[in-house]
């Protein structure tokens, strides 16, 4: 069963893969939010409202049409690798993952790649990067 009408059968991840991705990504974002809260408690020199607002949008792009399916595959690859199992992507998926990852780091300010130079990152950007 295809989960995305724009993908061919081979490119479409299974429901199990999508469910694992969504659960793992939610846990990751929750952990980042927890870390941002800790930073906000400890750092009086940071704008707490701006810092906590970052938690609400952290990695939101990973749910977009451009990123979700490639990141589902990437997350599953890591799951299988960590379990000691060999896993190969279907043809064409690895290229889509590279495009999605490049897009992700270029638009999310907690990644240095989203800036013309890492020195252009704000303290809020850096705090989110550390929380990540």
- Cα atoms found within 13 Å of the Cα of residue 69, Cβ hemisphere only: 23
Tens-place pLDDT, residues 72-114: 999 999 999 999 999 999 999 999 999 999 999 999 999 999 9
Tens-place pLDDT, residues 21-71: 999 999 999 999 999 999 999 999 999 999 999 999 999 999 999 999 999
User: 1 lies in a domain?
Assistant: no
User: 20 lies in a domain?
Assistant: yes
User: 49 lies in a domain?
Assistant: yes
User: 5 lies in a domain?
Assistant: no
Cα–Cα dist 127/76, whole Å: 28
- Judge residue 20's burial from the number of C-beta atoms within 10 Å of its C-beta, 0-12 exposed, 13-18 middle, 19 or more buried: middle
User: Domain span at residue 45?
Assistant: 15-131
Cα–Cα dist 83/106, whole Å: 30
Work out the end-to-end distance of the chain between its first and last CA atoms, rounded to an integer number of angstroms: 34
Give the pTM.
0.88
């Amino acid at each position: 069963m295809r989960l995305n009408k724009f993908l061919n059968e081979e490119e479409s991840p299974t429901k199990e893969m999508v469910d694992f991705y969504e659960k793992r990504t939610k846990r990751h974002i929750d952990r980042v939010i927890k870390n941002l809260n800790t930073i906000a408690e400890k750092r009086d020199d940071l704008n707490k409202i701006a810092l906590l607002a970052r938690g609400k949008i952290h990695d939101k792009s990973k749910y977009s049409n451009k990123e979700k399916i490639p990141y589902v595959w990437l997350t599953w690859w890591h799951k299988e690798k960590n379990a000691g199992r060999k896993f190969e992507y279907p043809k064409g998926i690895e290229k889509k993952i590279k495009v999605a990852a490049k897009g992700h780091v270029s638009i999310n300010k907690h990644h240095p790649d989203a800036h013309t130079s890492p020195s252009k990152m704000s303290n809020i950007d850096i705090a989110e990067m550390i929380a990540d």
